[in-house]
Amino acid sequence: MNAAMDTAFFSAWVGEIARAVQSDKERLTRLDAAIGDADHGINLDRGFTAVVQALADKDPGTPGALLTLVGSTLIRKVGGASGPLYGMAFREAGKALGDASEVSAGELATALEAGLAGIQKLGSAVEGDKTMVDALAPAVRALAQAVRNGKDAPEAIGEAASAALAGTEATIPMTARKGRASYLGPRSVGHEDPGAASTALILTALRTVAAR
């Protein structure tokens, strides 16, 4: 798929996220039970179910409008910290895309960079804090580097998803320094961060759609 990504592509991505979250919600909630509130998978499933309905009710005309709607819906519908954080990420990504009807891999990289910046501004997390940033930041770097190296969209997105999965695995030996898990101190070591895990799930869904 060397063609630019249009609104239908991003709609397919959201549909794939919703399916992936629904099938993996119990694992995400188990991860959260170990170091958080035991509701991450349930909350995300409710949020992306609402997102799919919102997209059905209001057909956004551009990729940017679609991602902005995704973000505002997640902020309204998802409890805990993940709703505001993911909501901010999707809204900032949508704003970065503007009114373009099609998006290149480079523009997608810029949008995801904006989403990461939004998360870091809201949550004050950096890499190594054992949060979703540990999955998203390496994914954003990998995507941008792949674009600079002339990779096509599916390959570049594939590298981003692989980086997110590796970043998620790297959270296991970390001590949490942000969020509910930080209250556990050293007891947070040995557990995969649920926010990083769901971030990897979202980027794996993007890889699935890009490979079609």
DSSP 8-state class, residue 36 = S
**What confidence tier does 9 reach under pLDDT thresholds 50, 70, 90?**
very high
Asked if residue 163 lies in contact with residue 146, where contact means CB atoms within 8 angstroms, the answer is no
Q: Give the CATH number of the domain where residue 204 resides.
A: 1.25.40.340
Model pLDDT for residues 131-155, shown as the tens digit of each residue: 999 999 999 999 999 999 999 999 9
CA distance to 26, 157, 198, per residue, from 202 (Å): 16, 12, 6
Q: Which has the closest alpha carbon to 25: 4, 8, 48?
A: 48
Rounded mean pLDDT, 31-35:
88
- How long is the chain? 212
Asked if residue 48 lies in contact with residue 82, where contact means CB atoms within 8 angstroms, the answer is no
Determine the 3-state secondary structure of 4 from DSSP: coil
Model pLDDT for residues 48-92, shown as the tens digit of each residue: 999 999 999 998 999 999 999 999 999 999 877 889 999 999 999
Structure tokens that stand for 10 in this block: 């991003």
Task: Please tell me the predicted confidence (pLDDT) of residue 181.
Answer: 82
93: domain range? 5-210
**What confidence tier does 3 reach under pLDDT thresholds 50, 70, 90?**
low
Task: Please tell me the predicted confidence (pLDDT) of residue 186.
Answer: 85
**What confidence tier does 1 reach under pLDDT thresholds 50, 70, 90?**
very low
Phi and psi at residue 103, to the nearest 5°:
-130, 135
Structure tokens that stand for 14 in this block: 């959201």
Task: Please tell me the predicted confidence (pLDDT) of residue 93.
Answer: 98
How far is it, in rounded angstroms, from Cα 53 to Cα 74? 12
Average pLDDT taken over every residue of the chain: 93
Task: Please tell me the predicted confidence (pLDDT) of residue 2.
Answer: 45
Determine the 3-state secondary structure of 171 from DSSP: coil
Domain count, the chain: 1
Global confidence as pTM: 0.94
